[in-house]
Chains A and B, each alone.
Chain A
């Protein structure tokens, strides 16, 4: 059965989710990426959208703007860019669910554990699939930052699949994977280093 989270989200809703679980989101999902984090964390601006118990998506959408704004394509951006600021962002805003692409680091998993939040991966590049779960754009803030960086408030219906990559215990799928890949790298590159070990040799002239 589909596990669906509906905003507003309580700690109880997410406390039993573990990395690798697949969930879907209904209610509100609001975009915010590099510039939003910079403004909230470093410039000390008050976020015009209240993220408390809500969900943020690291994403810069394509919106057809007009009397009514239409969500054309929206896919996640690389969450790792927000790593330096995310824990403080969670603390300041009370956001519960972070949706993005790729992993985040230890600072964020510590933040998720301390303040009770999760990070989920939506499959990267699947922007039309994502927009097909957007029922409408209800508002936009900080539009002066440009289309990708603004806060777009979306009404969503069973938005997903969202794969939990950091849970409320601070387990972090991508940090674990990175350790695994680092071990694998040494094993997998060695035979190729051996293969090219004589590539610089030139036959001696007789």
Chain B
């Protein structure tokens, strides 16, 4: 197939996939949310979780975005160097976002700086946001789609500390972020912690951290122990769903790291709301695909039509 044909197929598949990922939560998030619900005891928390689950059922049934804030689209991609259509991916995905904005529909959230006018189709300057990683020997493409909503982007921060501040600076950054603006970002949260060498690589790693499948651990045992300790610690604060006093503030805390300069400790903290719309799709080199994050993905994709197919 030539590039034009590949672009059409990619765009059409991604448009439907965006619809799936806006209306459903991934299986691992749903399972974790059920666990959190079971740990809440007070009446207000029960009311909130009842609302969460009723809403998710309605969203699925009516095929509507489960949260009105469908955010700005972020695509975190791992592409094999031998994937044949690298050159058309960005264009195809932007096209998919533009069409999904009307077909799903998504909320029109994108404003360019200085113009300060809504672009109307969720495509803007460097938006959708693309993050690339290249795998030398593969010929496939994995796309993680994330709907970056306003509320859960607001608490995010990255800061560089001195070595004398030690690992305590990491712990404090996490607690400060969650207990300040994090409580408004629709807990129970998934907290991503990025440890790097400067501000921006720590920030990117904090994003990659919360995109990981829930409950997976950092490869280093000390980091894994810290992930668990942070989660348990946050869940002792009495925050609960919506920050309205309950037992569970964090579904998970995930840490990702890179090497650091001997003179710096850079910490990024990024929180994701309970409506963690993180969808994964993997394309083979012939553009056949699989969607590992939702058990009913196949049925949804079969019954859904892209703008092109309509």
Contact = CB atoms under 8 A, between A and B. Distances in A.
A170 interface: no
A192 B230 contact: yes
Contacts of A79: 184
A200 B55 contact: no
Interface residues of B, number: 63
Interface in A142-163: 145-149, 161, 163
A1 interface: no
A20 B52 contact: no
Contact of A181 (B58, B185, B229, B238): B238
A174 B243 contact: yes
Contact of B69 (A75, A187, A195): A75
A191 interface: yes
B65 A62 contact: yes
Given A146-B118, A196-B170, A125 B67 contact: yes
B283 interface: no
B228 to A, nearest CB: 10
Given A60-B68, A62-B106, A148-B108, A192 B226 contact: yes
A205 B285 CA distance: 51
Contacts of B8: none
Contacts of A125: 52, 55, 66-67, 69, 186, 273-275
B292 interface: no
B59 interface: yes
Interface residues of A, number: 56
B86 interface: no
Given A61-B107, A102-B183, A161 B51 contact: yes
B48 interface: yes
B134 interface: no
Contact of A189 (B66, B70, B233, B243): B233
A77 B233 CA distance: 27
Interface string B78-120: 0000000000000000000000000001111101000001101
B1 interface: no
B48 to A, nearest CB: 5
Contacts of A196: 166-168, 170-171, 226
B32 interface: no
A181 B238 CA distance: 7
A123 B48 contact: yes
A163 B47 contact: yes
Contact of B55 (A77, A80, A101, A128): A128
A74 B58 CA distance: 13
A173 B183 CA distance: 13
Contacts of B222: 199
Given A128-B64, A146-B111, A77 B69 contact: yes
Contacts of A147: 107-108, 118
B151 interface: yes
B236 to A, nearest CB: 5
A123 B65 contact: no
A131 interface: yes
A162 to B, nearest CB: 11
Contacts of A163: 44, 47, 244
Contacts of A174: 183, 243
B62 interface: yes
A41 to B, nearest CB: 18
Nearest to A191: B233
Interface in B212-248: 222, 225-226, 229-230, 233-234, 236-239, 241-245
Contacts of A77: 69, 150-151
Contact of A146 (B67, B108, B233): B108
Contacts of B150: 77-78
Nearest to A184: B237
A22 B120 CA distance: 36
A127 interface: yes
Contacts of B65: 62, 72-73, 127-128
A130 B225 CA distance: 40
B171 A101 contact: no
Interface of A: 20, 22, 59-62, 64, 72-75, 77-80, 101-103, 121, 123-132, 145-149, 161, 163, 173-174, 177-178, 180-182, 184-185, 187-189, 191-193, 195-197, 199-200
Given A78-B154, A199-B166, 5 more contacts: A75-B68, A123-B47, A127-B68, A129-B58, A200-B166
Interface of B: 44, 47-48, 51-52, 54-55, 58-59, 62, 64-70, 105-109, 111, 117-118, 120, 150-151, 154, 163, 166-168, 170-172, 175-176, 179, 181, 183-186, 222, 225-226, 229-230, 233-234, 236-239, 241-245, 273-275
